Amino acid sequence: MDDRPLSPASRLGDAALAAGFVALDTGLTLAGSSWWPERPGSLAWAMLVLQAVVNAGLVARRRAPLAVLAAVTGFSVLVTMLILVGALGEPAGEIVVWPPMSAVLVAYLPVRYAAIRRPGWILVGILTLVAARPWDPSMVILTVALLRTAVGPLLALYFTARRSLIAVLRERAERAEREQYLLAAQARADERARIAAEMHDVVTHRLSLMVLSAGALRVRATDEETRRAAEEFRAAGCQALDELRDLVGILRTDPDDDSGRQELALPDIAALAAESRSVGIPTELVEEGDPTRASPVVGRTAYRIVQEALTNVRKHAPGAEVGVVVRYDPDRVHLAVRNTAPVGVVDAGLAATGSRAGLEGLRNRVELVRGTLDAGPSPDGGFEVTASLPAYVPTAEAVR
């Protein structure tokens, strides 16, 4: 039995199928291709109505398959007994099968529904026996009867085997796809680990030497200006090492791994805004939410975005006003740095400094932490940089 709710299309299809068998059996019976007698009486007409009611019951074959099969079998037995005792009269056709054509459909029910398999096959056996009429042997009747009760089960077995084969093939295809995805993921992980090892062995080593040299120069320098320059150089190198360590940690970690969380201090974006104001650029900073929701690597990435945007304002938009908005949501960090149109003359020498790849480098860095970055001119003649970052990105150190 099928306990699943039927869709309107399925209900309509069942009703149309039942109506089709009602019309088919009624037409064949009246045409003399079944049990209809040469001189029909009131009993024959009553049996014709009963046959239509039994065929109409096919609409319930999904809900009560055993009852529908029993009704068709019982009608076939009743018709056969009435003909044998002469109550209906002699059938008009000489070589005809008496059970209705709906026997073709109901014979498949024991194959389709396992819950009625044993009693269902018993009823199908009785239906076959009555249709074949072994007490009045005829090769034509025997053949037609066997086909009428065997076609349904054979088709059901075929479609069941086909469904099982398709399910097996689909499972194999999905397994092969999963294995291919895992192999590709492993290859990506190996490549990320190789890149991380190269960055750690080469870049980190050189930066460490530079930081140590700057520290030594600060200690040995005799004048204050040299010591200050050496300290700035050393601090910049330490910050670069911290950022490089984050990047190496990301490369060594599965990008889908959310385990672990670092509790390290985040860079202070407010200090960037204060520094920008100190050089004469009106800068307004708005921070919403809890900054501790962002992991250190995300915090440093946000810091770099704001730093690069403010640097570009100093170079390319003298006299512009800047608004910085940072919003910390539970699962995302949103940034927006907008400046108005420049009101002063751009210093060509200052604008020409740099590698001209700052925003592109930022975009690559943001994509590495699975974020997005957009930059472009705004309608008022200014410029706008927006970014959306995940609040937490694990690193290898976090996992350990």
Fold of the CATH domain 269-399: Heat Shock Protein 90 (3.30.565)
For residue 59, what are the contacts with CB-CB under 8 A and spacing of at least 6?
A: 14, 15, 17, 18
65, 123 contact by CB (below 8 A): no
pLDDT in tens, 62-86: 888 899 999 999 999 999 899 888 8
In tens, the pLDDT along 107-152 reads 888 888 888 889 988 998 999 888 888 888 888 888 888 888 888 8
Spatial distance between the Cα atoms of 35 and 82, rounded to a whole number of angstroms: 10
- CB-based contact 391:266 (threshold 8 Å): no
* DSSP type of residue 60: G
Task: Report pLDDT for 352.
Answer: 56
Token duo for residue 320: 């512009």
| Between 305 and 152, residue with greater pLDDT | 305
- Residue (of 400, 367, 395, 397) closest to 258 by Cα position: 395
| Nearest C-alpha neighbor of 106 from the set 18, 202, 220, 230 | 18
Q: Tell me the domain boundaries of the chain.
A: 8-137, 178-252, 269-399
Give the per-residue pLDDT at 396. 46
Q: Which two tokens stand for residue 27?
A: 């037409």
Place 265 in a pLDDT band, splitting at 50, 70 and 90.
Answer: very low
- pLDDT value for 136: 82
Cα dihedral 288/291/295/298 (nearest 10): 50
pLDDT tens column, 38-67: 888 899 999 999 999 999 998 988 888 899
Mean pLDDT of 246-271: 60
Question: For residue 359, what pLDDT is reported?
Answer: 77
pLDDT tens column, 2-43 = 666 778 888 888 899 899 989 998 998 888 888 888 888 899
Q: What is the pLDDT at residue 351?
A: 56
Nearest Cα neighbor of 21 from 76, 79, 78, 100 is 100
